[in-house]
Structure 1
Amino acid sequence: MHEYRITKYNPKYRNVKGVFEREEWTSYSDIGQVFNGVKLTANEYVATEEKYISAILLMMVCENVKTMFLKNVEMDSCDFEATFEVREGAALDVSEIPVLCQLILREHIWAKLESERMFVHFGYDFYMYIGVADKCDDVLAKISDLGLYVEEYRSPYE
């Protein structure tokens, strides 16, 4: 399995221990706050969220994955709308993945997405880990072109 950390965080701002040292927004709840002199807007947040979701969908196409399964599901007490069942072991087809990932990135639920050929794990502060059976170098380049940073990195959620 080839594993990657995919984030909005430029690695040049990491110290020698790998800690990101720049002030950055890390959550949906940060909308309206100021970081490095710039106010985070809802539009900027959504654009970044869409990049993460696009990265997942690109990897699913590369791996020919049409269904992912929910693992380790945790939900908060907030109500949210989903046209699919959010429960342990639920099978989601590719059309349901964007809504699920949006719910995870907005911290309404937490879950791992797994299939035989691929996994997606979300960490705190907009960290995402993807593992794939094939290397998918062309897709990694497309993800970088979206403005995300791709680093070889083992998921701490395995």
Structure 2
Amino acid sequence: MPALSIYKYDKSNPNYVDDWTAISDIGDSFYGKVLTLEDYLEVENRYVQTIEKILQLFNVDSLEVRELEKAFSFHSQKKENRLNQKQGHLFQQLDNGLLLTREAISELVRFNLRETVWCRLYSPNLQVHFGYDYYMYVQSMDEEKLEQCKQIIREMNLYYQEFLISPHQMEEEDIAPHTYTWGDGQTNPPGDYHHDLRISKDNPQNRTYTEWSNFDEIENGLAWEEYLAVEQKYLQLVLDFLESFQVNELVINGISLHKIQEIGVPEHYFSPKEIVLFQQLQEYDENVEDWTVEGLIVQKEDFSTLFRLMFKGIFTNWITNGSTTIQFDSSYRLYLSFYAHKKEIQNLIEKHGLYWQERQPPYKEAVGFR
């Protein structure tokens, strides 16, 4: 599908590679001048206005959020002056499948440019993607309108490059929306099926920006006791879930780790057992070769410590064992994929005071998490 990349760099100047590329560059010098917040916002506004004009050109009133990734919590973003309180409300409500109005689209463009989130914005007629180093992409099968986009980009004092396809084009299997629908424990059809449940500490029908969504918020007003109470709910659910499938060890192939110092939370919030296991994971990560198939085995007695590291954002791998998969996201939500009757697992979730949603349509083959 044809696409245009949109960028601020004048590539006729061979020194363009020395230009700023992110909001985090504010305060640094480029071409002998300090990048100020005002300078940054002037450029960001031109990107936003470009998308607003393109939406008008395509007569698109809404775009759908796809493959959403949130970098850190709202409080962390607010602390770095990347989001204000009003933007935080939208940040907390963002979810895959959410249909955005034009006003919200403008804000989400800012979120992506500020590296607060990453996502794709989708409609059948127009897609908006984001890349590294302050690149933005628009993609459409309407080549006539795409040609008219070039004039809009030039008018906004930006530049473009033509692509046969966007480097961030959605795969065909991602075109179908990966949304979750609130469930009421409806009866299973006969037999076992793959199910994909998303578990939240908050009622997914009533999310607001006041709800915390990340471990680092204990440094931003979240009480340690409140965090521990929620962590324990998730932990006991996962342990009961694995027990129901008689899982006594987990094999982890490859590690995706964040160092404790990167989380932005003092080390005393991690137990001695968590620090020891983290060091073992780090040692495995540093010594294992990319092409090896040798996995790290975690025994049942270390499950609790492993999942506490996962909930704190240190360990971010999917954990897969046979027909079950466990994943945790940056909005403090747990994902369980399994092959069995779902009613028993739903009851287990509700027993621990948590909420569940099911990816629709149910009773299909196992799907990857988004």
- CA deviation vs aligned residue, 1:92-149 (integer Å, no higher than 9, x gap): 0112111111111111111000101001100011011101343334442132121100
1:120 corresponds to which letter in structure 2?
V
| 1:156 paired residue among 147, 162, 167 | 167
Q: Please name the residue that 1:82 is paired with.
A: 89
Match of 2:105 in 1: 97
Query: How far apart, CA to CA, are the structure 2 residues paired with 1:83 and 1:121?
Result: 19
* 2:29 aligned residue: 34
Q: Against the structure 1 CA distance between its residues 138 and 32, is the aligned structure 2 distance closer, same or farther, given a 3 Å change threshold?
A: same
- Inter-partner Cα distance in structure 2 for 1:82 and 1:50: 21
Q: How does 1:138-153 map to 2 (within 5 A)?
A: 138-153=148-163
Alignment of 1:6-25 (within 5 A): 6-13=6-13, 22-25=17-20
The farther-off stretch of 74-83 and 88-97 is: 74-83
CA distance 1:150–1:8, change in 2 (3 Å): same
Q: Check whether the contact 1:63–1:132 (CA below 8 A) recurs between aligned residues.
A: no
Using the alignment, how far apart are the partners of 1:151 and 1:139 within structure 2? 11
What aligned pairs does 1:129-144 form with structure 2 within 5 A after superposition?
129-134=137-142, 135-136=144-145, 137-144=147-154
Are residues 1:3 and 2:14 paired? no
Please state how far the C-alpha of 1:21 moved relative to its aligned partner: 5.3
Decide whether the 8 Å contact of 2:27 with 2:35 is kept in 1: yes
Matched, 1:106 2:114: yes
For the residues of structure 2 that align with 1:21 and 1:43, how far apart are their CA atoms?
A: 20
Aligned length, in residue pairs: 153
SS in 1 for 2:133: helix
Kindly name which structure, 1 or 2, has the bigger radius of gyration based on alpha carbons.
Answer: 2
TM-score of the two chains, using structure 2 as the length reference: 0.39
State yes or no: 1:115 paired with 2:123.
yes
Contact 1:70 1:87 (8 Å CA) reproduced: yes
**1-side partners of 2:138 and 2:127: how far apart?**
6
Q: Distance in 2 between matches of 1:132 and 1:58?
A: 15
Partner of 2:277: none
Identity of aligned pairs, percent?
Answer: 31
- Normalized per residue, which structure has more helix? 2
Runs (4 or more) in structure 1 with deviation over 3 Å come to: none
Deviations 1:1-56 (A, max 9, x none): 43101100113246xxxxx8530100000001001211111111001111111111
- Kindly provide the amino acid, as one letter, of the partner of residue 90 in structure 1: L
Query: Equivalent residue of 1:12, what SS?
Result: coil
What's the secondary structure of 1:11's corresponding residue? coil
Cα pair 1:78 1:108 within 8 Å, conserved: no
**Conserved? CA contact 1:63–1:133, under 8 Å:** no
TM-score (norm 1): 0.88
Query: Mean alpha-carbon deviation: is it higher for 127-136 or for 65-74?
Result: 127-136
Q: Is the 8 A contact 1:4 1:130 kept in 2?
A: yes
Which structure has greater strand proportion?
Answer: 1
Counterpart CA distance in 2 for 1:50 and 1:95 is 13
Answer yes or no: is the 8 Å Cα contact 1:82–1:99 preserved in 2. no
Q: Is the 8 A contact 2:10 2:16 kept in 1?
A: no
Aligned to 2:46: 51
Unaligned runs of 5+ in 1: 15-19
Larger relative contact order (CA 8 Å, sep ≥ 6): 1
